RNA sequence: GGAGAGGUGGCUGAGUGGUCGAAGGCACCGGUUUCGAAAACCGGCAUCUGGGAAACUGGAUCGAGGGUUCAAAUCCCUCCCUCUCCGCCA
């Protein structure tokens, strides 16, 4: 949710954001009228209450009764205004950052840099679903019988590889030394405070998800009506509300958290897309980063998130490109979205493996997560969320490190987590 | 799931219809004392919000929402949460 004062002062910026993010049809003038009405009603209520307090003091039952009726009428009006205002307000998307490309859809995204050499194969490289099936480490068929489409069993070395990947990610995020190295390497000036590892809930109240501006579209969520709860679509959804209704101390910022959880997505509207392999599942594991920072540090914080993502992929020696997501393709609460696409030779394409969302104070405003500044004022804390690793890099490892005989070379950095082994081979 | 007890300021804890935004204690801030510190003593100290340059001042807030009443932290209803015991369970 945007700050109403900001909307009042910058209607043109807000209008542009609505248009560029393809959210037309929002009546901004109505919002401004309602905001004015709300303020007037609040003042009126305040005045009636003052008179009521006087009447109480005087034990004046007659005046008290009359004022109570008056109050009731104004309060009803006030609540109706408030309700309509908030319902309109939460439809306004966050304002894209100045460096976000303007574009209608993913065709407007801009590749900002590429890293790594695409591997050359003296044979036709296979896609990970074929590699995984042949090695007996990805089983989509049995999963389909048991759970339906878009589920898989990861077995044997694939299961171990995932644990290795996630553990490597965690170890990177909780090491101040490594973070320092990453920060220096990227030429950033941000805190090197390490991430706190968290095991968060993956079921949450729908209301809180709504305060994260992530409930809509509800079709994308697994919703348990009886309990009014939803499955998280990402650990972001329960890490973000970790400080709701709190006032944070400026000196405690940044706060950084990392959590690996299953993520659940209904993939409504993605029918027929990526039906093979592990790129688009209803349930997948993801190691997520979530940070809370001072408003002025929020953008630099996102740059750190991206630097970490790049470091992780570089350590795996996976070629990738960094993409600045344009206005028409970016998330509703995002101020700036940077994706990383990793090269998948079996599909002859870069595929999205990481995303990082700079949210600014957009979620914090509804979550009521604020920071007390040294001058005593309160501001919404700025939030960033970003993928460290999902399961998608596993697909990239399989495809990039494959051999003609179908075996896979395990990335060096993951070997210590896999008993020092160098290769994944078919079980004899 | 069953039974019971609770949710009050940064913490603790009193408060069962008006004099309560809320005693006392702890913590914190300032002062006296001291060479300095501790202790003791004195004073201050919730949050949000409208108006105002400020001094100051109006309003709201005792888990959330609704109700009774001229008046609610206090009475009634609904919901949420926490704790204890039992049941069940990893």
Reported as a single tens digit per residue, the pLDDT across A366-418 is: 888 888 777 767 788 999 999 999 999 999 999 999 999 999 999 999 999 99
DSSP lists the bridge partners of residue A257 as A196, A290
Rounded to whole angstroms, the distance from the CA of residue A372 to the C1' of nucleotide B40 is: 35
Q: Is the CB of A201 under 7 A from strand B?
A: no
Look at the block and give the residue holding tokens 């599942």: A281
Q: What are phi and psi of A288, to 5 degrees?
A: -115, 145
CB A311 within 8 A of CB A182: yes
Residue A201 is given by DSSP the state -
- Whole-angstrom CA distances from A305 to A81, A248, A255, A413 are 40, 21, 13, 20
Looking at residue A183, what is its pLDDT?
Answer: 98
d(CA A382, CA A250): 12
Would you give the end-to-end CA distance of chain A in angstroms?
57
Arithmetic mean of pLDDT, A18-45: 92
Arithmetic mean of pLDDT, A178-197: 96
Rounded to whole angstroms, the distance from the CA of residue A211 to the C1' of nucleotide B87 is: 36
Q: Is the CB of A53 under 7 A from strand B?
A: yes
Q: Nucleic chain B: which protein residues 367-406 of A have CB below 7 A from it? A: 378
- Closest nucleotide (CA of A377 to C1')? B48
Arithmetic mean of pLDDT, A281-287: 96
Of A4-18, A62-76, A407-421, the range with the highest mean pLDDT is A407-421
In chain A, where are the structural domains located?
4-89, 106-424
CB A398 within 8 A of CB A154: no
A5 or A197, greater pLDDT: A197
Q: Annotated binding residue at A366? A: no
Q: Annotated binding residue at A57? A: no
Q: Strand pairing of A110-115 and A320-324?
A: antiparallel
Contacts of A3 (CB under 8 A, 6+ apart): A361, A365, A380
d(CA A356, CA A359): 9
d(CA A329, CA A109): 8
In the predicted model, what is the mean pLDDT of chain A?
92
Looking at residue A252, what is its pLDDT?
Answer: 84
Please tell me chain A's helix, strand, coil percentages from 3-state DSSP, rounded to the nearest 5: 45, 20, 35
Entry pTM: 0.91
Domain A4-89 sits in CATH at: 1.10.287.40
Q: Annotated binding residue at A84? A: no
Rounded to whole angstroms, the distance from the CA of residue A199 to the C1' of nucleotide B88 is: 25
Q: Is the CB of A142 under 7 A from strand B?
A: no
CB A386 within 8 A of CB A356: yes
d(CA A260, CA A393): 15
Looking at residue A428, what is its pLDDT?
Answer: 67
d(CA A194, CA A274): 35
d(CA A128, CA A343): 12
Q: What are phi and psi of A337, to 5 degrees?
A: -125, 125
Looking at residue A164, what is its pLDDT?
Answer: 97
Of A62-76, A175-189, A360-374, the range with the highest mean pLDDT is A175-189
Arithmetic mean of pLDDT, A351-356: 97
Q: Which two tokens stand for residue A306?
A: 């991206």
CA geometry: angle A53, A58, A63, nearest 5 deg: 70
Find the largest Cα–Cα distance for chain A. Answer: 96
d(CA A25, CA A20): 12
Q: Which two tokens stand for residue A261?
A: 């959880």
Q: Which two tokens stand for residue A64?
A: 């008290």
CB A366 within 8 A of CB A377: no
- Percent of chain A having pLDDT more than 90? 70
Domain A106-424 sits in CATH at: 3.30.930.10
Q: What is the ipTM of this complex?
A: 0.85
Q: Strand pairing of A369-372 and A246-249?
A: parallel
Looking at residue A361, what is its pLDDT?
Answer: 92
Q: Is the CB of A43 under 7 A from strand B?
A: yes
Rounded to whole angstroms, the distance from the CA of residue A75 to the C1' of nucleotide B68 is: 18
Rounded to whole angstroms, the distance from the CA of residue A229 to the C1' of nucleotide B3 is: 27
Arithmetic mean of pLDDT, A184-213: 91
Q: Which two tokens stand for residue A236?
A: 């972001």
Q: Annotated binding residue at A205? A: no
A428 or A202, greater pLDDT: A202
Arithmetic mean of pLDDT, A119-144: 95
Q: Strand pairing of A246-249 and A223-224?
A: unpaired
Q: For residue range A154-166, what is the model confidence (pLDDT) as tens digits?
A: 999 999 999 999 9
d(CA A285, CA A119): 27
Helical spans, DSSP H, in A60-205: 61-89, 128-135, 140-146, 157-173, 176-186
Q: What length does chain A have?
A: 428
Q: Which residues of A141-154 are buried (b: 16+ CB within 10 A; e: fewer)?
A: eebeeeeeebbbbb
Looking at residue A206, what is its pLDDT?
Answer: 86
- Closest nucleotide (CA of A63 to C1')? B70
Q: Nucleic chain B: which protein residues 316-375 of A have CB below 7 A from it? A: none
Looking at residue A379, what is its pLDDT?
Answer: 84
d(CA A399, CA A83): 52
Radius of gyration of chain A (CA): 25
Looking at residue A333, what is its pLDDT?
Answer: 94
A266 or A269, greater pLDDT: A266
């Amino acid at each position: 949710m945007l700050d109403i004062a900001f909307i009042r002062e910058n209607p043109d910026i807000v209008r542009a954001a609505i248009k560029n993010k393809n959210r037309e049809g929002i009546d901004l003038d109505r919002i401004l009228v309602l905001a004015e009405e709300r303020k007037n009603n609040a003042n009126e209520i305040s005045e009636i209450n003052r008179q009521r307090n006087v009447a109480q003091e005087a034990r004046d039952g007659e005046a008290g009764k009359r004022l109570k009726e008056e109050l009731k009428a104004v309060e009803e009006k006030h609540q109706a205004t408030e309700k309509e205002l908030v319902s309109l307000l939460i439809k306004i998307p966050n304002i894209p950052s100045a460096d976000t490309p303007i574009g209608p859809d993913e065709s407007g995204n801009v590749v900002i840099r590429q890293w790594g050499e695409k591997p050359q194969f003296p044979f036709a490289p296979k896609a990970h679903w074929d590699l995984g099936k042949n090695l007996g480490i990805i089983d989509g068929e049995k999963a389909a019988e048991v759970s339906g489409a878009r589920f898989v069993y990861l077995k044997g070395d694939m299961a171990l590889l995932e644990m290795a990947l996630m553990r490597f990610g965690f170890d990177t995020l909780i090491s101040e030394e490594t973070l320092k190295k990453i920060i220096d390497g990227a030429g950033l000036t941000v805190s090197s405070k390490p991430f706190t590892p968290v095991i968060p809930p993956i079921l949450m109240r729908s209301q809180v998800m709504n305060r994260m501006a992530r409930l809509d579209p509800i079709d994308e969520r697994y919703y348990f009506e009886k309990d009014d709860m939803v499955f998280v679509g990402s650990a972001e959804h329960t890490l973000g509300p970790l400080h709701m209704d709190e006032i944070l101390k400026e000196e405690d910022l940044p706060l950084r958290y990392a959590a690996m959880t299953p993520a659940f997505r209904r993939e409504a509207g993605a029918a027929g897309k990526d039906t093979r392999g592990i790129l688009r599942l209803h349930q997948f594991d993801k190691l997520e980063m979530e940070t809370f920072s001072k408003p002025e540090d929020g953008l630099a914080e996102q740059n750190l998130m991206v630097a970490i993502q790049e470091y992780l992929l570089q350590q795996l020696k996976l070629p990738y490109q960094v993409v600045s997501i344009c206005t028409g393709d970016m998330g509703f609460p995002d101020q700036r979205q940077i994706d990383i696409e990793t090269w998948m030779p079996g599909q002859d394409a870069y595929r999205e493996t990481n995303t990082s969302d700079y949210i600014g104070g957009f979620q914090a405003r509804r979550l009521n997560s604020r920071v007390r500044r040294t001058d005593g004022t309160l501001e919404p804390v700025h939030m960033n969320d970003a993928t460290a690793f999902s399961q998608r890099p596993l697909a990239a490892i399989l495809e990039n490190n494959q051999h003609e005989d179908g075996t896979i070379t395990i990335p060096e950095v993951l070997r210590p987590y896999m008993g020092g082994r160098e290769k994944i081979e078919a079980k004899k």
